Chains A and B, each alone.
Chain A
Amino acid sequence: MFVALEFARLVRANQSMVFSVALRFLRNHEVAEEVSQDVFLQLYQNLGRIQNEAHAAWWLRRTICHRAIDEVRKRKLRPQIGLDSIPDPAAARQEPDWLQNERLRRFVEALPVRPRMVVVLRYQEDLDPTDIAGLLGIPVSTVKSHLHRSLAVLRARLARESARQSEGVCYECGK
Chain B
Amino acid sequence: MNVENELRKALRRQSPPAGFAERVIAKAGGQFRTPWWKFRPLVLANAVALTVVLFAGGVIYQRHEEQRALDARRQLVTALNVTRVSLQKAQERIRRAAAKPIL
Contacts and interface: CB of A to CB of B under 8 A. Distances in A.
A102 B11 CA distance: 9
Q: Assign chain B's interface to a size class.
A: 20 to 34
A32 to B, nearest CB: 8
B10 A104 contact: yes
B20 A36 contact: yes
B6 A100 contact: yes
Main secondary structure of the interface of B (DSSP, over half): helix
B100 interface: no
A57 B47 CA distance: 40
A8 B9 CA distance: 29
Contacts of A26: none
B14 A19 contact: yes
Given A29-B17, A123-B10, 20 more contacts: A16-B15, A17-B13, A19-B16, A19-B20, A23-B14, A24-B11, A24-B14, A36-B20, A41-B28, A41-B31, A97-B9, A104-B6, A108-B11, A124-B8, A124-B12, A124-B13, A126-B8, A151-B3, A154-B7, A158-B1
Contacts of A29: 17
Main secondary structure of the interface of A (DSSP, over half): helix
A4 B1 CA distance: 47
A11 interface: yes
